[in-house]
Structure 1
Amino acid sequence: MSVIRSVVTGVGSFLPEQVVTNADLTKIVDTSDEWIIERTGIRQRHKARDDEPTSDLALKAAERALADAGKTAADVDLIIVATTTPDQTFPATAAIVQRKLGAPVGIAFDVQAVCSGFVYAMSIADGFVARGQAKCALVIGAEEMTRLMDWTDRTTCVLFGDGAGAFVLEPGEGQGTKDDRGVLGFALRCEGAKSDMLYVDGGPATTGTVGHLRMLGNQVFRHAVVNIAEAITAAAEVAGVDIPEIDWFVPHQANQRIIKGVGDRLGLDEDKVISTVAMHANTSAASIPLAMDVAIKDGRIKKGDLVLVEAMGGGLTWGACAFRF
């Protein structure tokens, strides 16, 4: 039976020019290169300029993804931006991107699920595209997490960076099997009772300020490995695939120890795991498309490969998606 699936036809990413190394951070906070690498695997991160808002990063990633898909702004009828650091409280950063891109009137909105935002946004875009409500969707993860840092807190300020990544999703015809190109299955989760493990201590309806990121790192780590592994297994089951069939695992780039812990728990070959955390740090909702773009450009991920992505972030939110690229 013929079915319509949403297919990833283009991928693009963008990183701000400024690079902040671990050595740079030792000048402003009590830490060391060795301490950061041992606990996180991070060696450097990128930082946006003061005059470079989230929408600028999102725009550049979107333009590159459209070029990769052979599309133009005129083709875009849906824009979803996953971000924790919008340009303004409103309008949505997606609306600003639509204007800057020069895209026509269409659907544009933001998704806020912190680090899980890109997986959530993909699931929403899949609903539009696979049901014929959008022909060319831009799904963008764009973050300037350095704006939320308390630069006196060495346990958090060393972890995060800025960047953006984007997918173009278009409808594609398949046979309704796991061999089809396109999105095959999702698993999304949230446990609001654990929101105090990872949060920002400000907001327009509470303090009237942006606030700073706060995290109970050890507790988040313990929940991450178990919860992510469960979501991956659930998404694979929905997709009708077994874990050993996965060609590439593209995890949220939060911490190398979490990435390894999840891979070990699932019995994934290390050679199948894409890790860019050393160079990008944790870019929240941007980390999956950033890592995906790196692995496509260096020739690892190819058309037809079975890819599984996952993320976990504040909320606590987490989720996974299986798709054939």
Structure 2
Amino acid sequence: MFLQSYGPQPRAAGITAVGSMLPEEILSSDSLQQEVARRSGLALPPRLLTQATGIRSRRVAGPDVYASTLAAGAARRALDAAGLTGPDIDLLLFASASRDMVEPATAHIVQAELGTRAHALDVTNACNSFINGVDLARAMILAGRARRALVVTGETPSRAVQYAPGSLAELREGFAGYTFGDAGAAVVVEAVERGGILDVDTETHSEHWEVGGIPGGGSRHPRGDAYTYFRGDGHELRGVFEKVGTAVIDRTLHRTGLDWDGVAKVLVHQVTVPYLERFAELTGVPAGKLVVTVPELGNIASASIGVQLDRVFAELAPGERVLCVGLGGGISIMTMVWEKS
């Protein structure tokens, strides 16, 4: 098999541009709860969703807005920020928990929108998909297999929300889905002379894979609307992350010699406000280091870290370091230390 190489292998790769895209429609938690109560006939305590999650609103993709739509929109913004066009990209990774369809890979749909001829494929690992994609892009560049990568995500988990639960038990089973919002994000990853992605660590506890997810669309449940809704135990999921998550962060800080003073920003996947507050309590990260998006955007799955990065990218100075913390169903925890070049 012929493996294309691009000459001498670079010593470092990093994120050089970022973009994000949010759907136009805003859905408040109170409006969502009213709709669920209307469709299900269940009597729910006033402001239950807002008070339980701390989420005031989220963005919701319209009927003609797909995962690829959000990914391509974010990608155009990232390319514009870098002064690039589609043909400048030789690796395109669609890294998302959502997708347009089972086959073909959504990366090809995004590529057709952007007009690139890059090597295109999907990377899927729940809410860690995007940070996994960035890590894979970095590895391909360092191996000399790509010059410049575009990593994109388009998340539409709001389509996995059960608006008409048949009982309180069904409402509880799908409650985590009421945190979902939609968004897209993209980054350009390429060789850099200094800084870049300095450290990556992961820890996986796959014995907990059944804690939560969307079971439909695969070989276990290829058909049936009931399987297209998110279901899971949010309390159990939180317990697993609390038990194992801080060890990865502690390890990363120790190995890199960093402390919280040496980190400009901490970007962490955000599920609910109480969950984020518990993360800060367990890790000791100062509140001012966090880029908080969950109250206004909800849980936007793997787009969370990309959207947060887009909000602070311009204000970061060269040499400042960012710690990314990914939390994904399955269960996986991932850290990435990136220094702006």
TM-score, reference length from structure 1: 0.91
- Partner deviation per Cα, 1:246-271 (whole Å, 9 max, x = no partner): 11101112122222222222221111
User: Does the 8 A contact of 1:184 with 1:238 survive in 2?
Assistant: no
User: Does the 8 A contact of 1:233 with 1:243 survive in 2?
Assistant: no
CA gap 1:51/1:220 in 2 versus in 1, 3 angstroms:
same
2:161 corresponding residue in structure 1: 149
CA gap 1:107/1:7 in 2 versus in 1, 3 angstroms:
same
- Partner deviation per Cα, 1:171-222 (whole Å, 9 max, x = no partner): 0123xxxxxx200111122222101111213233122136211120111112
- Partner deviation per Cα, 1:113-147 (whole Å, 9 max, x = no partner): 11111121111111012222212111112210012
User: Does the 8 A contact of 1:198 with 1:313 survive in 2?
Assistant: no
Match of 1:121, SS state, is helix
Q: 1:208 aligned to 2:222?
A: yes
Match of 1:165, SS state, is strand
2:35 corresponding residue in structure 1: 28
TM-score, reference length from structure 2: 0.87
Could you tell me which amino acid in structure 2 is paired with residue 44 of structure 1?
A: S
- Partner deviation per Cα, 1:157-182 (whole Å, 9 max, x = no partner): 320011111111110123xxxxxx20
1:177 corresponding residue in structure 2: none
CA distance in 2, matches of 1:255, 1:159: 7
2:205 corresponding residue in structure 1: 191
Shift of residue 321, structure 1, vs aligned partner: 0.7
Alignment of 1:265-276 (within 5 A): 265-276=282-293
Could you tell me which amino acid in structure 1 is paired with residue 231 of structure 2?
A: R
Could you tell me which amino acid in structure 2 is paired with residue 15 of structure 1?
A: L
2:142 aligned residue (130, 146, 170): 130
Shift of residue 243, structure 1, vs aligned partner: 4.1
Could you tell me which amino acid in structure 2 is paired with residue 164 of structure 1?
A: G
Could you tell me which amino acid in structure 2 is paired with residue 201 of structure 1?
A: P
CA distance in 2, matches of 1:232, 1:29: 38
- Partner deviation per Cα, 1:291-323 (whole Å, 9 max, x = no partner): 1112335x4x34432101112121112211111
Shift of residue 3, structure 1, vs aligned partner: 6.2
CA gap 1:141/1:302 in 2 versus in 1, 3 angstroms:
farther
Q: 1:70 aligned to 2:83?
A: yes
1:42 corresponding residue in structure 2: 55
Could you tell me which amino acid in structure 1 is paired with residue 253 of structure 2?
A: A
1:235 aligned residue (249, 252, 256): 252
Q: 1:89 aligned to 2:106?
A: no
Could you tell me which amino acid in structure 2 is paired with residue 195 of structure 1?
A: W
Q: 1:99 aligned to 2:112?
A: yes
1:248 aligned residue (249, 265, 283): 265
User: Does the 8 A contact of 2:72 with 2:110 survive in 1?
Assistant: yes
Alignment: residue pair count: 315
2:321 aligned residue (306, 316, 319): 306
| Range moving further from structure 2, 239-248 or 116-125 | 239-248
| Range moving further from structure 2, 286-295 or 222-231 | 222-231
2:276 corresponding residue in structure 1: 259
Could you tell me which amino acid in structure 1 is paired with residue 182 of structure 2?
A: D
1:320 corresponding residue in structure 2: 335
1:178 corresponding residue in structure 2: none
Match of 2:278, SS state, is helix
- The percentage of counterpart residues that share the same residue type is 28
Shift of residue 234, structure 1, vs aligned partner: 2.7
Between structure 1 and structure 2, the one with the greater Rg is: 2
2:123 aligned residue (87, 94, 111): 111
User: Does the 8 A contact of 1:225 with 1:258 survive in 2?
Assistant: no
Q: 1:283 aligned to 2:297?
A: no
User: Does the 8 A contact of 2:271 with 2:294 survive in 1?
Assistant: yes
Could you tell me which amino acid in structure 1 is paired with residue 123 of structure 2?
A: V
Across the aligned residues of Structure 1 and Structure 2, the Cα RMSD in angstroms comes to: 2.0
Could you tell me which amino acid in structure 2 is paired with residue 207 of structure 1?
A: H
Shift of residue 34, structure 1, vs aligned partner: 4.0
CA distance in 1, matches of 2:245, 2:317: 25
2:168 corresponding residue in structure 1: none
Q: 1:182 aligned to 2:202?
A: no
Q: 1:121 aligned to 2:133?
A: yes
Match of 1:222, SS state, is helix
Could you tell me which amino acid in structure 2 is paired with residue 143 of structure 1?
A: E
CA gap 1:68/1:193 in 2 versus in 1, 3 angstroms:
same
